[in-house]
Amino acid sequence: MKRIAALLMILLSLLCLPSCGLKLNTDRIAEQFDKVLYAVSGYQLKMNDDLAGTRSLKDNYTGAYSADYDGQSGRELLFGGALLKELDLAVYGRISGRQGSARILVKMNGSTSYIETDENGEFFEILHFDSGGNYIIAELEKFCGHIELYSEYVSLR
């Protein structure tokens, strides 16, 4: 967190330099800062070895996750991070359980919501992530069963 605060201070200082007569390419600075935020926020994702299942990441936001659970409780951070730009993702999959409960939690800049499943445990939702911190999390309560989740970029424009 201290690193992010330091990076923000540097960015703010750089943005003030044009008032001192220096010309800066603010688009380029924002692009580079976005890359730094992406890299730093990636450290919040659990390592694949720490997850109950198997995750294949295309990047911090997209990929596939599959897991069999035998009574686990808690949360597993599957995808996400912090960026300056906006993203649109399709998140879909299936939750099948024998016991306990499992839900897919979505955190978007501090607000939380859950992706609803149908009667077969299947889900599909288009998520619009604004700039900031956005995460997709498996939330488990003594869950025995299977979760399969996919996340892909979509273009809505």
- At 109-126, the pLDDT tens digits run 889 999 999 999 999 999
Q: Which helix (H) or strand (E) holds 5?
A: helix 2-16
User: Which CATH class, in words, describes the domain spanning 47-153?
Assistant: mainly beta
CA distance 81 to 99: 31
- At 45-80, the pLDDT tens digits run 656 678 999 999 998 999 999 999 999 999 999 999
3-class state of residue 130 by DSSP: coil
95: pLDDT strictly greater than 60: yes
Ranges for all domains in the chain classified under CATH 2.60.120.380: 47-153
Helices 2-16 and 26-41: angle between axes, nearest 10 degrees: 180
| Residue 154 pLDDT grade (very low, low, confident, very high; cuts 50, 70, 90) | very high
- At 131-151, the pLDDT tens digits run 888 999 999 999 999 999 999
3-class state of residue 9 by DSSP: helix
